[in-house]
Amino acid sequence: MPSAEQWPELPYADWRDTAATLQLWTQIIGKVRLSLTPWLNHGWQVPLYVTARGLGSSPIPVDRENLELEFDFVSHRLVASTSRGEIETLPLEPQTVADFYRRVVGLLGRIGIAVSINQAPNEIANAIRFSEDRAHAAYDAPAVHRFWRALIQVDRVFKLFRSGFIGKASPVHFFWGSFDLAVTRFSGRTAPLHPGGVPGLPDAVTREAYSHEVSSAGFWPGNDAFPQAAFYSYAYPEPKGFRERQVTTGAEYDGKLGEFILPYDKLIVASDPDAVLLDFLTTTYVAAADCGHWDRGALECPFGVPGKVRPI
Domain spans in the chain, listed from the N-terminal domain onward: 13-132, 141-299
| Dist CA 47 CA 58 (whole Å) | 9
pLDDT bin (cut points 50, 70, 90) of residue 17 is very high
Mean pLDDT of 286-309: 97
| Dist CA 183 CA 162 (whole Å) | 7
pLDDT bin (cut points 50, 70, 90) of residue 3 is low
Express as a percent the part of the chain with pLDDT over 90. Answer: 96
Nearest Cα to 242, choosing from 292, 176, 192, 205? Answer: 292
Average pLDDT across the chain, whole number: 96
Mean pLDDT of 212-241: 97
Is the pLDDT reported for residue 132 higher than 70? yes
Nearest Cα to 199, choosing from 120, 122, 118? Answer: 122
Phi, psi for residue 68 in degrees, rounded to 5: -130, 135
Is residue 73 within 8 Å of residue 152, measured between CB atoms?
no
With both helix axes pointing from N to C terminus, report the angle between 16-36 and 141-162 in degrees, rounded to the nearest 10: 60
Mean pLDDT of 262-274: 97
Mean pLDDT of 206-212: 97
| Dist CA 198 CA 257 (whole Å) | 13
Is the pLDDT reported for residue 1 higher than 60? no
Largest CA distance in the chain: 57
